[in-house]
Amino acid sequence: MRKLIQKERQEDCFSDFKLENRNIRPISSPVDLHENRIPKVRVSLFDFGSLIITFIVSIISFIISFLIWAYVPEDSFLIIFSGLVMFLIPLIFFLNRPNAAAVMSGKIIIKRPLRKPIVVEKEDIRQISITKNRDHSLRWLIRSFYVIFLPFYLGEGIIKALRNLERSFPDYIVLSLFLVRLAGVAIFLALFYNFELLAPYQQTFKVTTNSNLKLWLYTEKPEEFVAILKNETG
């Protein structure tokens, strides 16, 4: 009888939308979180528009860098911009980092840098599934890779720059090539920063809306996340 009651409560918690994993149960105590908000929620947004912007910015950066390298005289300081323009790529990765989300009664508000926030109403949610966060499982392996790879990658660039100076390459050429190497370091740092934002969380909420928008939500309090989204405050 007791198991039957628990099962009924568990199913009622997600009666408004489909949930694949039934491991989350409603909390028994009232939720009191400053205007019904969970303070620490991260969201990774699968947005086709963001992917297109990242791809276009990367292509434009390579084209501009190539044109400057091909048509600007080697003794001109303008050749430096051939390396500087490559920093647009890590910048776009940083702007597309996992954003903070405000989970309120019946809706999710996703904050995005330099763009309008996205509001997902509870009625728009078609499915929620709970999976294990692979970033959390692989965090030490990935951290070890960055700790070993980044110093090696940067050190190799410094050695090449010093060798080019010994070969009497124009200073602007050497600086431009080194800036390209630094842009590569910045790309890896931006990716690592994005990874570190999500690595602490053990579980992932995959939210699919009726418009096929896919969100990956990360929070340390999954029960309160569901309760607040369903407006169950006591």
Task: Give the domain ranges of the chain.
Answer: 2-229
Q: What is the pLDDT of residues 111-138, one digit of tens each?
A: 877 778 888 888 888 888 888 888 888 8
115 is written with which tokens?
């763009």
Q: Which helix (H) or strand (E) holds 51?
A: helix 48-71
**Three-class SS state of 109:** strand
Q: For residue 13, what are the CA distances in angstroms to 6, 27, 28, 124, 188?
A: 11, 10, 12, 17, 41
Give, for 58, the enclosing helix (H) or strand (E).
helix 48-71
Name the residue among 10, 14, 81, 23 with its Cα closest to residue 204: 23
From CA 193, how far away is CA 184, in angstroms rounded? 14
pLDDT tens-digit series, residues 17-71 = 444 444 433 333 444 434 444 547 888 876 677 788 889 999 999 999 999 988 9
**In this predicted model, what pLDDT tens digit does every residue of 177-210 receive, in sequence order?**
999 999 999 999 999 999 999 999 888 888 888 8
Supply the pLDDT for residue 20. Answer: 47
Q: Is pLDDT at 6 greater than 70 in this prediction?
A: no
